[in-house]
Amino acid sequence: MSFPLKKSLFAILASCVLLLAACGTNKEDAGNKENGTEAKKVLNVGTEATFAPFEFMDKGEITGFDIDLLSAAAEEAGYELKIENTGWDAMLAGLQGKQLDIGMSGITIKEDRLKTYDFSVPYFESTSMIAFNKDVKINSAEDLKGKKIGVQNGTTGQYSAEDIVGKNSSDISKYETAALMFQALQSKNVDAVVTDIAVALEYVKNNPDNGVQTVGDKQFDAEYYGFAFQKGSELTDEFDTALNKLFENGKYEEIYKKWFNEEPNLKSLQEAANLYK
């Protein structure tokens, strides 16, 4: 190889190295959330947005308590969110397949789910509730026996119903979304649905003319919502820190009051946090 060629090859190589190095720093800068001038990292969030007041569509926008809370936490942690109405099953699959960073859907923290996903600290206390057509007689969970029951597939409402009437009961119809479950109730394809308390109450509030009543039962355990992350994700700790900040600085309380018109019980959330961590 003649000397000038060697020299120019060296020059090319050297500029490649410089170019790569430059690319490297650019990338780092873009992902650097300490640096306020650079774009924040965008996290992909999946949800099932037929679950008012936690997540629902309003004039084409996904809105609700969960959206306000997760957005405040993301702001605190220095991230931007891209929220998509993926549906329940696709949300969970997306977390497992690592296409999604966060599952936001009033998701109950459960031991078996903790094997597959990480969860944030608990941010809402819930329990199952029965919503039923007023022409059927239901005074307690036991009265679900012999009734046609609708649930959202793969949710704690399904498990609560199964605890009463049996896991393989043909009286349980499973729907893909909370909206389809309520539609089945409205069109009397089922006598009752079992869902989360705040969602049952919100449905009745928003549909006062549908003749739907609600009843709870001590048999239904307390459950706690958490945001779900990929197993082993570093985001879990970052969002826990952010959420704890919101519990302390009054922001959580503000968001809670906006959606539920009452004071949150922060102490019970605190106690629940010790159950899962």
Q: Which is nearer to ligand ARG, 89 or 234 (CB)?
A: 89
* Min dist. Cβ of residue 113 to ligand ARG (A): 8
* Min dist. Cβ of residue 84 to ligand ARG (A): 13
Structure tokens at 187: 């069109």
Residue type, 43: L
Chain residues binding ligand ARG by CB under 6 A are: 48, 51, 55, 88, 105-108, 152, 155-156, 178, 196
Q: Are strands 228-230 and 102-103 parallel, antiparallel or unpaired?
A: antiparallel
Q: Which is nearer to ligand ARG, 124 or 252 (CB)?
A: 124
Sole residue written with tokens 């609700």: 64
Residues contacting 189, CB < 8 A, separation 6+? 148, 150, 173
Does residue 93 contact residue 240 with C-beta atoms inside 8 Å?
no
Q: Which is nearer to ligand ARG, 38 or 163 (CB)?
A: 163
What's the CA gap between 259 and 57, in Å, rounded? 15
Q: Which is nearer to ligand ARG, 55 or 101 (CB)?
A: 55
* Min dist. Cβ of residue 252 to ligand ARG (A): 19
Does residue 62 contact residue 55 with C-beta atoms inside 8 Å?
yes
Q: Which is nearer to ligand ARG, 88 or 117 (CB)?
A: 88
- Start-to-end C-alpha separation, the chain: 65
Q: Where are the alpha helices (DSSP H) in the chain?
A: 3-31, 65-77, 88-96, 111-114, 156-165, 178-186, 197-206, 235-249, 251-260, 266-276
Q: Which is nearer to ligand ARG, 51 or 252 (CB)?
A: 51
* Min dist. Cβ of residue 177 to ligand ARG (A): 6
* Min dist. Cβ of residue 135 to ligand ARG (A): 27
* Min dist. Cβ of residue 122 to ligand ARG (A): 12
Residue 57 β-bridge partners: 62
